Amino acid sequence: MSGPWVQPVDASASEAIAAISDELAMFDDWMDRYEYIIEMGRSLPSFPAKWQNDAHRVPGCQSQVWLEAHEEEGNLFFAGASDATIVNGLVALLMRVYSGRSKAEIENTDPGFLHELGLVKALSTNRGNGVEAMAQAIRARARA
C-alpha cells in the first residue's frame, strides 16, 4: 500500500511509544526535541489537497489538522497533515503510534503517553489540547 497512508515502522503501538521516548531522551532540551518533532513531520507522506476540507478537519485544534483513515486487512491506516510545522510533526508522531494497527490496539493505546513523554506540558495549552484532540479523533475512528 502506498499513497498518503503512514506505514508502521515499529511492531506495536507500545514499541512505537518506547522508541519515541528513547529518541526524545537523546536531546537535552525541548528546543532540540521540537526540531526533531518538526523533522518527523517532514517525513509524512503527502496529504491530498482534496482532503484538506471541513469533512477531514479535526475539531479542537488551534491549527488546521486533517485526518483520513483506510481499513485494510483488519488494520487502520491513517493519513494526516497540518498547516503548522510543529503540529505536522505531532501528527507524524501520532501516526507512528497508531497507523497500521488493529482497531483494538488503537482503542487500547491510551493517549496518556503524550503526558508521560512530557509533550503536553512542553506545548502551549492550545497545542497540548490539540494533540490530545487528534489522539481522541484517531481512537474514535477505531471505535466507529
Q: What is the pLDDT of residues 23-40, one digit of tens each?
A: 999 999 999 999 999 999
The backbone torsions φ and ψ at residue 112, rounded to the nearest 5 degrees and listed phi first, read -60, -20
CATH class of 13-143: alpha beta
Rounded CA gap, 104 and 25, in Å?
A: 29
| In the chain, where the domains are located | 13-143
Residue type, 68: E
pTM: 0.94
Answer whether 37's CB lies under 8 Å from 23's CB: no
Q: Is 31 strand, coil or helix? A: helix
Segment (H or E) for 102: strand 101-102
pLDDT over 70, % of the chain: 99
- Say what angle helices 30-42 and 13-25 make with each other, to 10 degrees: 130
pLDDT higher than 90, residue 125: no
Q: How distant is the alpha carbon of residue 143 from its chain centre?
A: 17
Q: Report residue 48 as a C-alpha cell.
A: 491530498
Q: What is the pLDDT of residues 70-104, one digit of tens each?
A: 999 999 999 999 999 999 999 999 999 999 999 99
What is the average per-residue pLDDT within 111-115? 93
- Give me the active site residues, please: 61
Tell me how far CA of residue 124 lies from CA of 2, 64, 65, 87, 130, in angstroms: 34, 16, 16, 11, 10
Q: What pLDDT is attached to residue 1?
A: 60
What is the average per-residue pLDDT within 129-133? 90
